[in-house]
């Protein structure tokens, strides 16, 4: 090879390399690419991080009971200590300040405010959350407060079966109003419920979460999978609407806050281009997001649910429908993954399950045949499909009139392996790729005209992950369960800090 030819080849290689690097740089986004005022934050929930379950007057919740029931938690752990955020919140808020986030979404434990669900207020519980809110504001971090993140006071479950009773509406409204009174001068962003679809189905259809009710294959001691999820969802929607009405009439004008709900939403792609599978994907979404958002936007449940569930689906009175409709200031979306949806033409599930999944007439899986929809994270349900974020945002824009949306949770988990060293566990390149991919697709949806206002990474810390216990790690910060719960930044922390710092 002549020297001239060699130089030409080297120059071509360099040119291609530079072009590739240029394109790679262009694909990396940062906060300056997002609209002015867009909120970036991290999230947690009380039961998953606080611990201190018997301190300062806190009463037991249904998750205390469930997590201490044999066989309910994968690794047989409980959240009595969790990651001790109750005592270490100042340290953890300092980590958030160092990250550079704008906001922190956390939940308040109902049984810390009302140990018995109602009645006398626990002053120590109020004081604790006052300290948390004030510490956040002192660091320039806005509090986003979730009122109910699954930890119903056990006393109300014992008294009248909790969410299965209409009595819950007044007790939840009383609890919410105390929160407005005690914290509303500083808290401007309220989320009444986290993932009502999850606790309605997992808690009352499949029995896999508290309070563990179901009738599927007689796996639970009590329950009716064909009716109870719908009753629970109905009482949640009425409770939310009642609280929204109270807030708007008594507090919103003075306090100037906003109120929404955080919905869990898997995006569904039809498994084939047949009309049956296209319809199945829509039904799957109707029985997930539509179940809750349709009443809040349009005043009633999706027609597919009315047609398929029949008299088992509760009805709103005319006054209730008017109260429910329009009772959201923003739509919270917890989005992690995408599944395929296929028509359940055989109705095998219907003959065996008699529940909300059978009612939907859709089979939803992260596989199409044997082909996975994307790379898997750790959890068996979490596959990495960034483009689902853009599809979901556009769906909400088109179907629901482009309401303000906040991504209240988005993230992925790694396994918690006893054979992985702390040093290796901090190398979470997959999480960096996940967040970069999902944020890129979120930005694309904003350019499509979707009205998205914020994004919260789940989660700030590794924590106790409900039925999975400590078997998986969702955190930006590693928590060493073997060494006094010390916090260590994973590689994703440095990536996220740079993402939040950069300007165009």
Concerning whether 409 is annotated as a catalytic residue, the answer is yes
Could you tell me what percent of the chain has a pLDDT over 90? Answer: 91
Q: What is the pLDDT of residues 31-73, one digit of tens each?
A: 999 999 999 999 999 999 999 999 999 999 999 999 999 999 9
Mean pLDDT score across all residues of the chain: 93
State the pLDDT at residue 19. 40
Q: Which of 50, 157, 195, 441 is catalytic?
A: 195
H/E run at residue 270? strand 267-270
Is residue 473 assigned to a domain? yes
Token pair, residue 60, equals: 């037991």
Mean pLDDT score, 168-176: 98
Mean pLDDT score, 470-474: 98
Query: Is residue 217 pLDDT above 80, yes or no?
Result: no
Token pair, residue 328, equals: 């959201």
Q: Which domain holds residue 79?
A: 30-500
Closest Cα partner for 163 from 148, 145, 178, 146? 148
Q: What is the largest CA-CA distance in the chain?
A: 91
Q: Which of 142, 228, 320, 409 is catalytic?
A: 409
Mean pLDDT score, 3-25: 40
Query: Is residue 17 pLDDT above 50, yes or no?
Result: no
Mean pLDDT score, 463-472: 98
Query: Is residue 12 pLDDT above 70, yes or no?
Result: no
Is residue 285 assigned to a domain? yes
Is residue 442 assigned to a domain? yes
3-state DSSP assignment of residue 104: strand
Q: Indicate which CATH number applies to the domain containing 112.
A: 3.20.20.80
State the pLDDT at residue 371. 93
**pTM (2 d.p.):** 0.93
Q: What is the pLDDT of residues 343-375, one digit of tens each?
A: 997 765 555 567 999 999 999 999 999 999 999
State the pLDDT at residue 346. 72
Q: Say how many domains are in the chain.
A: 1
Could you give the CA distance from residue 198 to residue 209 in angstroms, rounded to a whole number?
A: 9
Is residue 441 assigned to a domain? yes
Is residue 202 assigned to a domain? yes
> Are 172 and 80 within 8 A, CB to CB?
no
Is residue 290 assigned to a domain? yes
Mean pLDDT score, 11-32: 51
Is residue 2 assigned to a domain? no
Please give the full DSSP string across 404-427, using - where no structure is assigned. Answer: -EEEEEE---EE--TTS-HHHHT-
């Amino acid at each position: 090879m002549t020297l001239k030819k060699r130089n030409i080849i080297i120059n071509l290689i360099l040119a291609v390399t530079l072009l590739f690097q240029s394109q790679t740089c262009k694909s990396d986004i940062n906060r300056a690419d997002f609209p002015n005022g867009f909120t970036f934050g991290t999230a947690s929930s009380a039961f998953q991080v606080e611990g201190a379950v018997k301190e300062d007057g806190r009463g037991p919740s249904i998750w205390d009971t469930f997590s201490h029931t044999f066989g309910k938690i994968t690794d047989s752990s409980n959240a009595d200590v969790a990651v001790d955020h109750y005592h270490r919140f100042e340290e953890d808020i300092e980590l958030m300040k160092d990250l550079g986030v704008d906001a922190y979404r956390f939940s308040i434990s109902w049984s810390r405010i009302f140990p018995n669900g109602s009645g006398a207020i626990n002053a120590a519980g109020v004081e604790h959350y006052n300290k948390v809110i004030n510490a956040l504001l002192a660091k320039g971090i806005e509090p986003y407060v979730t009122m109910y993140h699954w930890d119903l006071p056990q006393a109300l479950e014992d008294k009248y079966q909790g969410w299965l009773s209409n009595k819950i509406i007044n007790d939840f409204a009383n609890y919410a109003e105390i929160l407005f009174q005690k914290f509303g001068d500083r808290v401007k962003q309220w989320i009444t419920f986290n993932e009502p679809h999850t606790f309605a189905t997992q808690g009352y259809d499949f029995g896999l979460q508290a309070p563990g009710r179901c009738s599927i294959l007689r796996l639970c001691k009590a329950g009716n999978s064909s009716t109870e999820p719908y009753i629970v969802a109905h009482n949640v929607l009425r409770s939310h609407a009642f609280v929204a009405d109270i807030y708007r009439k008594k507090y919103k004008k003075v306090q100037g806050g906003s109120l929404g709900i955080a919905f869990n939403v898997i995006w569904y792609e039809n498994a084939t281009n047949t009309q049956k599978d296209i319809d199945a994907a829509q039904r799957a979404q109707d029985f997930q997001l539509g179940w809750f958002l349709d009443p809040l936007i349009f005043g009633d449940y999706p027609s597919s649910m009315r047609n398929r569930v029949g008299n088992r689906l509760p009805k709103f009175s005319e006054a209730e429908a008017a109260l429910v409709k329009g009772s959201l200031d923003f739509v919270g979306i917890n989005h992690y993954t995408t599944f395929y949806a296929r028509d359940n033409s055989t109705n095998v599930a219907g003959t065996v399950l008699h529940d909300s999944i059978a009612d939907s007439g859709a089979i939803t899986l992260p596989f199409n045949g044997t082909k996975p929809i994307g790379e898997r994270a750790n959890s068996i349900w979490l596959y990495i499909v960034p483009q689902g974020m853009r599809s979901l945002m556009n769906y909400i824009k088109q179907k629901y009139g482009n309401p303000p949306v906040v991504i209240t949770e988005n993230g992925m988990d790694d396994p918690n392996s006893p054979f992985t060293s702390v040093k290796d566990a901090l190398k979470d390149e997959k999480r960096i790729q996940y967040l970069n991919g999902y944020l890129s697709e979120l930005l694309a949806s904003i350019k499509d005209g979707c009205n998205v206002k914020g994004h919260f990474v789940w989660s700030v810390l590794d924590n106790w992950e409900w039925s999975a216990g400590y078997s998986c790690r969702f955190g930006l910060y590693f928590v060493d369960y073997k060494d006094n719960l010390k916090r260590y930044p994973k590689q994703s922390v440095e990536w996220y800090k740079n993402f939040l710092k950069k300007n165009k």
